[in-house]
Amino acid sequence: MSAAAERRRPVVAALYREALPPRLSEIEELAEVRLTKADGLAKAMDGADVLYQWHSFSPALKENWSAASTLKWVHVTAAGVSQLLFDELIQSDITYTNSRGVLSTAIAEFALGFVLDMAKDSQGSYRLQQEQRWQHRTTRKIQGQTALVVGTGSIGREIARLFRAVGMGADGGGRTARPGDTDFGQIHSSRDLVSVVKDYDYLVLAAPLTSETKGLVNAEVLAAMKPSARLINVGRGELVHTGALTDALASGTIAGAALDVVHPEPLPAGHALWSGDNVIITPHMSGDTEDYLDDLGLLFLENLRLYRAGEPLQNVVDKKLGFVSAS
């Protein structure tokens, strides 16, 4: 490589916590890479063009913002980035990209698994097995059941496609109502949940956390659901008012919940949700398949190639909205 070409190589500050990013040798072929943990970020960003936030939920960029004067692009290995955005970053000219889409299929599979688990009462079967009891029961079929999927981005759309593939109906909940969507039968405004949730057997949350979606599912929404309905949350814990959900499950206002995310997270020991027979809790793992780390690394590598070529990047976040806008 000539000296002129070497000068064109971008400088990438790669923030990590423990394990190094995957595909590092391929990244180093395209850029000068400065590996750093949070305490060294300010030095690593000095003169850097790119911040590769492999430690996805670190607040280090905000804490070292004064050292970020030369950054042109920040990439984070997460889809939900609301907790990472701050006023100075939002108002800056820095391009911000996320990892939208990488985990969508895995999360959709997890959501379908929750539906099957609850419909077929897998938890009940396991409890009976532990007691060595042979007790015949009937279960519910999922064909013909309906779901309202709140969040019409890549994750919500993958969920809708999988649900439809097994004979379920799937409508969406988004910022604006609109009919005739390619993946959803129709899309309701998420502001209208109280008036529409009564028509669905499952309320599935896959939305980003924003000022508009925080606490979206409250006591009023839960009270409007069918008593036989179930709540599934594979989005963010703060989409749901935890106290209201706990009360609704205990009183039978809704039939059950499957929660891959909760608020607070992790759920404290002794919390009532842990012991509910009608609750399934998993530790924020719905997208974490055996090869997901490499998939996340591959997305950054592809975007770095685009950056080097001066071409538009994938997954550019609308920083004011807090997510990748489809429009």
Amino acid of residue 165: A
Strand 32-36 and strand 11-15: the pairing is: parallel
Cβ distance 251 to 227 under 8 Å? no
Point out the catalytic residue in the list 236, 238, 241, 263.
236
Point out the catalytic residue in the list 9, 140, 178, 284.
284
Q: What is the maximum alpha-carbon separation in the chain? A: 76
Cβ distance 121 to 136 under 8 Å? no
How far apart CA 248 and CA 251 sit, in angstroms, is 5
- CA 234, 22, 291, 159 dihedral sign is positive
Point out the catalytic residue in the list 220, 265, 302, 311.
265
Q: Tell me how many helices (H) and strands (E) the chain has.
A: 12, 13
Is there a catalytic annotation at residue 136?
no
Phi and psi at residue 2, in whole multiples of 5°?
-70, 165
Is there a catalytic annotation at residue 34?
no
Q: What is the DSSP letter of 83?
A: G
Reference 31, options 313, 314, 303; nearest CA is 303
Is there a catalytic annotation at residue 265?
yes
Catalytic positions are 236, 265, 284
